[in-house]
Amino acid sequence: MEIGALAAKLNTSPQMVTAMLDHLQRMGLLTAAQDCSGCQLASSCSHGCGSAPAPMWQLHSRAAEDPPR
């Protein structure tokens, strides 16, 4: 999902979504995929991380297990 579409879905601005993604990345809960290696969906995905205009974000498993307080 593109940042603009996510912002519309969350009823906020694209700048706020970018700030939230940056914050989650600094906390170590998200990483931006640099390529498709290690991605479980690589064989069925048409995103093409290396050539995409926007990063593909990956949620770390510890984020689901131990959410921030």
Domain ranges of the chain: 3-64
**pLDDT tens per residue, range 18-27:** 999 999 999 9
Number of Cβ within 10 Å of residue 48's Cβ equals 11
Q: How far apart are the first and last CA of the chain?
A: 26
Please give the Cα distance from 36 to 64 (Å, whole number): 22
Can you give the C-alpha Rg of the chain in angstroms? 13
Please give the Cα distance from 67 to 8 (Å, whole number): 25
Q: What is the pTM of this model?
A: 0.64
Per-residue pLDDT at 61:
72
